[in-house]
Structures are given as structure tokens and as C-alpha cells.
Amino acid sequence: MTLLLLDSASLWYRAYYGMPDSLVAPDGSPVNAIKGFLDMSARLISQYQPSRILCATEGDWRPTWRTDLFPGYKANRVDDDGDEAEPDTLTPQIPILLDILDAFGIPNVGVDNYEADDVIATVGTRERGPTFIATGDRDLFQLVNDKRRVKVIYLAKGLANHDLVDIAWIARKYEIPGDRYALFALIRGDASDGLPGVKGIGEKGAALIANNFKSIEEALDAAHANDERLTPNLRKKLIESSEYISIAPTIVHCALDVPIPPMKFDIPKTPTSLDEIYRYKNEFNLGASIDRMISALGW
């Protein structure tokens, strides 16, 4: 009962920037993100052969319970209207893509005041594995769990050259215990999300702490106790960042309690209506991208 969880926004951004903007519908409107998303989804389904699937969308890309704690969270991505800065030609493609996924019977869900990562984390820890999470976002490495058979299909180098991230991969990549990525990331910070991490501690210092402590609270206690596993400089930096450390886990860690409505994740064995799917194919000039999805689903 393999489950494939798609980090939808991550995939359609990669599709948008990876596919030429010359791909357009008959009326001239762009469809590069739609075609790219469908092509990636088809390849992932064909390669990993899931029996269940979910496309997770953003109910809120800056949840208030995160920004109330840390107003700088993703503030670097806010446009003049207070919305997420997004390419003008991507925005109108997203509702069409979601309608097409509905036509295929592929479930997609976003929950108010939660990010797609939170939806993925909640489903990924609730459902039985094996589970594959497709994303270009390393934040989701915190969900990797060999015992529960949860792995990340990491698309940073593209689909053809993607990494399949398990505990051993994380350990090799960052030289830390593979199950401590969330601690490592909290300390290191993430400029793309506007998260400073523990000021003055970079990746090497974060790795040293993750190798010696299981949690940020344990590391901070050790700093106050002058624990020799920490250098004097690391102890100083941790103590100076005590206020940030007190809120960082809530911001950095994915929520595991998203109120997801009851739903089935089964990949449909037969289409509800191929006519509707072919209408999208013709109306938006989606050609082989629709055919690849149909083939991947085994229809």
C-alpha cells in the first residue's frame, strides 16, 4: 500500500521554471507549469508504483501561529500586497491544474492556516508506509524514518537525477545522526524562509551540536552547564539565542496534528470521465502530458 505524497507547490514551481514558456494553450495562455507538473507526476507514479497518492497544497503559506511567534517567517517572500510573490504567468495555471487533478480523481488537500509541509507531515506520520514524499524542499528531511519506511524523493537536481533520501543519506550528507535533521536545521537556519537559526552558528557548529545532543533544549541546558562537549563560543551563541530557541521548534518543525478531513488516498483504477480529461487536453493543448498520466495510472 505504497503512499506517494506530492509537495504540490514545490513541484509546480520546478515545473514552471524547468519548462519553456513557449508552451501555451490555443488562446496563448501559458501551460508550462501544468504540463511539467503532469509529466513529473506521471514519472513518479510510473517509477514508484504507489497504490495511494495525495497532492498537498498550501492552506496558508505563512500560518498565523508561526508569524505571531516570529514575524520574519517568510517575510522575504511577501509582495507589496502582502501576498506571496509569485510569477504572473504561474498564478493562473494553478486552479486549472487542480481541476485537472480532480478530473483524474487524484486527491489534493490544503487546510486553512497550515502549510503543505504540515499536511504531508500529518499524513506521513499517520498512514502506514512505505511512504515517498516528492519535494524540492529539504525541510521535509525531518520526516525521514527508516522504521516507518518514510523516504523523501528529493528533486533539487531534477527528477532524472533525484536523490532518494533515507537516514543513511542524511548522515552521509551532513555528517550527523540521520534522525536529527530537524535539530540541525533549526540551528543552521534557512535564509529562504527568513529563519536566522542560532546567530553565529553555521553548518559545522550545527553538525557538532547535532552529533552530541538529541534536542535543542538539551544543548541549551548543556551550554548553561558549561558542558565541555560545546566550545566556549558555541555555549555563548546558544545562550545569546535563548529567546529564539524557545520559539524555533514550533516554527521549524512540521505540525503533526493538522485537522485533515476524512478521505481516501487510493489511486483511481478507472476514470470517472475520460471525456472531461480529454476536454482539458484539447482546451489547453496538453497533448502527451495527459496521455502520460493516463498511462501511468494504468487506464
23-53 per-residue burial string, b: 16 or more CB within 10 A, e: under 16: bebeeeebbbbbbbbbbbbbebbeebebebb
Q: Do the strands 52-56 and 3-7 form a parallel or antiparallel pair, or are they unpaired?
A: parallel
Kindly tell me if the per-residue pLDDT of 262 is higher than 80: yes
The phi, psi pair for 179, rounded to 5°, reads: -90, 10
The phi, psi pair for 283, rounded to 5°, reads: -65, -35
Measured distance CA(201)–CA(224) in Å, rounded: 17
Mean pLDDT confidence for 151-178: 97
CA dihedral sign of residues 195, 196, 198, 201: positive
pLDDT above 90 coverage of the chain, percent:
93
**What pLDDT score does 86 carry?**
84
Measured distance CA(125)–CA(34) in Å, rounded: 29
**What pLDDT score does 54 carry?**
98
Alpha helices in the chain (DSSP H): 8-18, 32-48, 64-67, 93-104, 116-126, 167-174, 181-188, 203-212, 216-224, 232-240, 242-252, 274-283, 287-296
**What pLDDT score does 140 carry?**
98
Residues 6+ apart with CB under 8 A from 159: 40, 43, 44
**What pLDDT score does 78 carry?**
86
Q: Considering only CA atoms, give the Rg of the chain.
A: 21
The phi, psi pair for 142, rounded to 5°, reads: -65, -15
Mean pLDDT confidence for 167-186: 98
**What pLDDT score does 18 carry?**
95
- Of the two residues 270 and 281, the one the predictor is more confident about is 281
Kindly tell me if the per-residue pLDDT of 195 is higher than 80: yes
> Which structural domains are found in the chain, ordered by start?
3-173+255-296 (3.40.50.1010), 178-252 (1.10.150.20)
Q: What is the mean pLDDT of the chain?
A: 96
